[in-house]
Amino acid sequence: MLQKILPLLFLSFLSLALRATSSNPNPSLTAYDELNRTGFPIGLLPSGILSYSLNLTTGDFAVDLADHCRVTLPPDNYLAVYSKRITGQLVDRKISGLDGIRVRAFFRWWSITTIRSTGDDLVFDVGVASAKYPAKNFYETLDCQGSNGKKASS
Ligand SMILES: *[C@@H]1O[C@H](CO)[C@@H](O)[C@H](O)[C@H]1NC(C)=O
Ligand SMILES: *[C@@H]1O[C@H](CO)[C@@H](O)[C@H](O)[C@H]1NC(C)=O
């Protein structure tokens, strides 16, 4: 079960884009730039980002999308939904208190609450479950599906 949930968790990486934390944060960078700069694949964030902010003191961040965003994650076709605003706290390669990213699996919605980076892998917490996936699976940015996105009810 955890293995099936894990792919969905990858979406949560989007929030990682926010992790402009450590050494050399630059407000002029885009969220995608921040992902790359901090060693994360840009595919963790969907297209359609309007803006993002990061409080370098507290690690609190917010990402605003043009609209809520549905993405189907390959290869298992899990549906993930990003809220219009995604918030959380990014400290030391860990995103906690995450709000705004949910994945559909096993007939219910799961909120991704925490994402940790261990280097080549990303660990996602969904409720009491957690899963690990290689970051290389997210080299491409996914486009948001339209309101008539496929499999929205699966
Ligand atoms: C960051 O971007 C450069 C240039 O496109 C690319 O070569 C590198 O692989 C990227 N790093 C990550 C972690 O995706
Ligand atoms: C960061 O958060 C602290 C604590 O809430 C606040 O005092 C500070 O003004 C914030 N910094 C920015 C740039 O918003």
What are the tens digits of pLDDT across the range 6-29? 555 444 444 444 443 333 445 567
Q: Which of 82, 76, 72, 79 has the alpha carbon at shortest distance from 45?
A: 82
Kindly tell me if the per-residue pLDDT of 35 is higher than 50: yes
Residue nearest to atom 1 of ligand 1 (CA): 36
The pLDDT of residue 99: 94
Say which ligand is closest to the CA of 136: 1
The residue-averaged pLDDT of 79-97 equals 88
Q: How far apart are CA 35 and CA 52, in angstroms?
A: 12
Residue with tokens 């980002």: 49
The pLDDT of residue 75: 58
The pLDDT of residue 83: 94
Kindly tell me if the per-residue pLDDT of 100 is higher than 90: yes
Residue with tokens 């080299």: 139
The pLDDT of residue 4: 53
Q: In Å, what is the CA distance from 135 to each residue of 28, 73, 110, 150?
A: 25, 14, 21, 25
Q: Is the whole model's pTM more than 0.85, yes or no?
A: no
Domains of the chain: 41-154 (2.30.240)
Q: Which residues line ligand 1 (CB under 6 A)?
A: 36, 39-41
Q: How far apart are CA 137 and CA 10, in angstroms?
A: 9
Residue nearest to atom 5 of ligand 2 (CA): 58
Residue nearest to atom 2 of ligand 2 (CA): 58
Q: pLDDT, tens digit, for every residue of 112-128? A: 898 888 878 888 888 88
Residue nearest to atom 4 of ligand 1 (CA): 36
Ligand 1 centroid, distance to 41 Cα (angstroms): 7
Ligand 2 centroid, distance to 70 Cα (angstroms): 31
